[in-house]
Amino acid sequence: MLQSLRLKSGPPARVIFGHPWAFLGEIISNGPLPKSGECVELIDLKGKSLGSGLWSSKSQIAWRRYSHRLVSLDGPLLDELILASIRRRENKPVCRLIWSEADNLPGLVVDRYNDLLSVQALTFGIDQRLPQIIDCLKRELQPREIVIRNDASVRKLEGLDNSITTASGNPLEPCWMKIGDIEVRVDLMGGQKTGMYLDQIEQHARIAQLAKGRRVLDAFCNQGGFGLACAKAGALSVLGLDSSEEAIKAAQLAAERNKLNAKFEVANVFDWFGANREVTFDLIILDPPPFARSKESVDGAMRGYKELNLRALRLLSPKGILATYSCSHRISDEMYFEVVESAARDARRQAILLDRVSQPSDHPILLNFPESRYLKGFILEVRS
Ligand code: SAH
């Protein structure tokens, strides 16, 4: 039997309208509270069940739904949810296999890099169940190794320590593997996030189709995903910029290994734009980190995005292309479009929208969970 807790009366909580989280302040908490990691039923003010969720006693997000039914995660359900997520990805060799709430596994992220897996546990309940999760992944996928990247800062909010380990207990060296048609140096124990960024792989190929004969600037390039794909597709020149030395090193090694003509430099993109006002590019990619991580940072983020888009638009040749992305869920598609429009206005550039893009299907958007709808991009062609 699961312990049941009730919502408090007060302003209607988002969980009533389908959101998968309930905050501690929204729940009646005068009786004994569950322990972190326990499976708990939540009941609304009329006594109707809102489903079953994982309890977290340290975090403000006290309850995260994994099922609309009344069911423990510790029976067959955990394996069933893992297998359903894997099946949804239809055997893609490099992809996000499991994405947290969007796959009903709140706090579990699993990325697949061919025969390697990288796992992150971001909630107490998932961290506690990692042994069973790893067993299931091994049984289903027989990976060469599983890296457990428990170094995300949000773990602290759950009262969890940080570590980076492997399922075998042996360290995993960086290795080369094909992603798309490029050999990429994958460092699952050292790279950013779960090793790399997987959410823009489709965009790398999409933008590369526009790159032939163009001078390309890949700003916030990380390991050079866009730039390398553009070089492979016949770009005239490629310059990639990122503030991370490790990421730039990996990009440079990949350019050498794939015999591609692409230059990568360590730079703060804002400073670089400030110092380089006379250069011209025919294709600029802007793929910055999420500037708006909290509600309070939205205004500053909007100014940052505006600045970047303005600078980029000024450096584009006539008929030049801007591919501009934002991965802050707090900045909506419309807000970001307005930023880009006002940047074009200030730069006195006329541009048409060639395409508007979103996140790939292996990072599914969960309806009524705005936090899962984060990536947006606009591909523009400058007319004058
Ligand atoms: N374009 C990449 C993903 C970029 S993620 C891809 O397609 O895979 C954002 C990147 O911005 C990270 O690599 C981070 O190191 C870098 N970054 C963050 N702030 C920066 C800054 N001010 N200047 C340059 N790079 C920055």
Sequence ranges of the domains in the chain: 3-67, 76-172, 176-382
| pTM of the shown model | 0.95
Q: Give the chain's residues under pLDDT 70.
A: none
**pLDDT number for residue 191:** 85
27-64 burial, b at 16+ Cβ within 10 Å, e below that, comes to beeeeebbebbbbbbbbeeeeeebbbbbbbeebebbbb
Nearest protein Cα to ligand 1, atom 11: 220
**pLDDT number for residue 293:** 85
Nearest protein Cα to ligand 1, atom 9: 289
Helices marked H in the chain: 77-88, 124-128, 130-141, 201-208, 225-232, 245-257, 269-275, 298-315, 333-347
**pLDDT number for residue 116:** 98
**pLDDT number for residue 30:** 83
Domain 3-67, CATH homologous superfamily name and number: PUA domain (2.30.130.10)
Residues having CB closer than 6 A to ligand 1 are 192, 197, 200, 220-222, 225-226, 241-244, 247, 268-270, 287-289
Any catalytic annotation for residue 221? no
One fold for 3-67 and 176-382: no
**pLDDT number for residue 160:** 97
Q: Compute, in angstroms, the gap from residue 220 CA to the centroid of ligand 1.
A: 4
CATH class of 176-382: alpha beta
Architecture (CATH level 2) of domain 76-172: 2-Layer Sandwich (3.30)
